[in-house]
């Protein structure tokens, strides 16, 4: 079993929050063994997700690549 870490992203802009949540959901759908969304809290503008250490270390690059596709 792959070791996963809990990652918390706090975002002040609701549009950006929803955009990142959407990207994470697409990644989760393609790679459920690497990423699992725990909670998207629009009121507090927080995204919590479990991911492998590779995804956690490279999340900004992965989100940028996914967004450009």
**CATH label of the domain that carries residue 54:** 3.30.1370
Q: Which long-range contacts (CB under 8 A, 24 or more apart) does 12-15 make?
A: 12/45, 13/45, 14/42, 14/45
- Domain of 35 in residue numbering reads as 4-68
Backbone angles phi, psi at 32, to 5 degrees: -65, -20
Three-state SS for 24?
helix
Lowest mean pLDDT among 2-6, 14-18, 24-28, 64-68: 64-68
Note the pLDDT of residue 58.
Answer: 82
Tokens of 19: 């955009």
The pTM assigned to this predicted structure is 0.79
- Structural domain count of the chain: 1
59-68 helix and 14-30 helix, angle to the nearest 10 degrees = 90
Three-state SS for 45?
coil
């Amino acid at each position: 079993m792959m070791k996963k870490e809990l990652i918390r992203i706090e975002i002040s802009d609701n549009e950006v929050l929803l955009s990142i949540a959407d990207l994470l959901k697409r990644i989760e759908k393609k790679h459920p063994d690497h990423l699992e969304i725990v909670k998207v809290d629009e009121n507090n503008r927080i995204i919590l997700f479990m991911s492998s250490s590779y995804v956690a270390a490279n999340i900004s690059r992965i989100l940028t690549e996914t967004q450009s596709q």
